[in-house]
Amino acid sequence: MNLIIFGGFLGSGKTSVILSMAHFLVESEDSIKSNLVIIENEVGEIGIDDKVLKSDGYSVRELFAGCICCQLTSDLITTLNDINENINPKWVIIETTGLAYPSKILGNINKYGKGIESIKTVTVVDAERWDELSTITPVLVENQVSQGDTILINKIDLVTELELQEVESRVKELNRKASIYKVSANIEVKDCIWEEVTKTCE
Amino acid sequence: MNKIQKPSFNKVHKHSKHDEHQHNCGCTHNHSNEELYGELQEVPAVFSHSTSFELDKEVTGDKLKDCLVDWVESLKLWVSDNKYFIGHIKIFVENKKGFNLWLSTTGKKVNIKASGEYQDNNIKNITINMTAIIFGTDEQTLRLVTLENLNKKLPNHS
């Protein structure tokens, strides 16, 4: 299984981005829907994003009412190992809550996950709220950005060119190793971005 | 983007960031960055709710969408009036006839996505699933305000 962990703050557009990537994966020549399972983690007791993904026909496993980086760590490992044993898909996408610290999730998966060939972390950044989020939850936002292998700066249609440059520059300061792409998931995420993300997994 | 003032949250325990060479906080173990980050509590109030009901008379998808947008706008106004901060408000509405409506906001515009059958539907029975994540308030207040506003904004229902 190739794991792609999507992190990023609340409302940054993770579900929209995942819908785009899931569509890309199942539309690829050698992929079918059973080759993809999405694990949906939400901090609320009732799932919303899982319903959105299911309404598009995707296979979704839910982990609600807590965060997989802390309260639901063992549930995540159990779910992953169950998926490995019973489905063994080519791709597993994990949508974390917007309050999750990706480094904690990675540590636990590396230690206890079975049948995992590769892990990649994609962090979705909300360009429209960058300034506010950096003020209100600076530690969380900085941690999420610094842990991403790929950073998608989302909602670029909602900011000016100057604002976008400021966000990009700050993201680069926080994470010099990551590949950075600027997207607007509500409009389109180009397939070439997903090709790059998946190429390095396989 | 506007600069905003940081609201005062209940931070239970706050560590300042420091590296190993400047480590003099008196404890006997090494702090990793994760441990330090984990101890900084940036905790929002979270309220999730699911309810199914029957409207007194059928409404169009557009009418229902307008009512739900009004509901979300009323929550945005409450947050803004109290200088709280929206993490995320998201709503998924469905019925057994394939009607799906997804609304979400981070305090700016309300984003709306709908199923193909959305326009033509005359709707009487629906299920509303919602989660609101708000910084600066508590769960009990959030629950009270959210449900009170839902009852005000929805058409007559039982």
pLDDT digits (tens, 9 = 90+) for B71-114: 999 999 999 999 899 999 999 998 887 788 999 999 989 999 88
For residue A81, CA distances in Å to A22, A86, A111, B1, B147 come to 21, 9, 12, 43, 39
Which amino acid, one-letter code, is at B117? E
Distance between CA B10 and CA B13 in Å, rounded?
Answer: 9
* In chain B, where the domains are located: 10-43, 45-153
What is the average per-residue pLDDT within B17-33? 38
Nearest of A110, A138, A109 to residue B42 by alpha carbon: A138
Q: What is the pLDDT of residue B60?
A: 86
Tell whether ipTM is more than 0.90: no
Pairing of strands A150-154, A118-126: parallel
Q: What is the pLDDT of residue A94?
A: 94
* In chain A, where the domains are located: 2-199
Contact A51 B94 (CB under 8 A): yes
Contact A76, A66 (CB under 8 A): no
Q: What is the pLDDT of residue B70?
A: 95
**What is the overall mean pLDDT for chain B?**
75
* A14 vs B: CB within 8 A: no
The residue in chain A having the minimum alpha-carbon distance to the alpha carbon of residue B4 is: A132
Higher pLDDT: B64 or B33? It is B64
Contacts of B40 in chain A (CB under 8 A): 139-140
Query: Which pLDDT band holds residue B20 (cuts at 50, 70, 90)?
Result: very low
Query: Which pLDDT band holds residue B120 (cuts at 50, 70, 90)?
Result: low
Count the helix, strand and coil residues of chain B and give each as a percent rounded to the nearest 5.
30, 30, 35
Which CATH code fits A2-199?
3.40.50.300
Residue B48 has pLDDT above 80, yes or no: yes
Contacts of A107 in chain B (CB under 8 A): 34
Nearest of A174, A133, A193 to residue A4 by alpha carbon: A193
Contact A136 B92 (CB under 8 A): no
The residues of chain A scoring below 50 in pLDDT are none
**DSSP assignment letter at B112:** E
Q: What is the pLDDT of residue A111?
A: 87
Q: What is the pLDDT of residue B56?
A: 84
Residues of B with CB under 8 A from a CB of A: 1-4, 6-7, 17, 33-34, 37-38, 40, 42, 44, 46-50, 85-88, 90-92, 94, 100, 102, 104-106, 108, 111, 113, 115, 129-131, 133, 135
Higher pLDDT: A177 or B26? It is A177
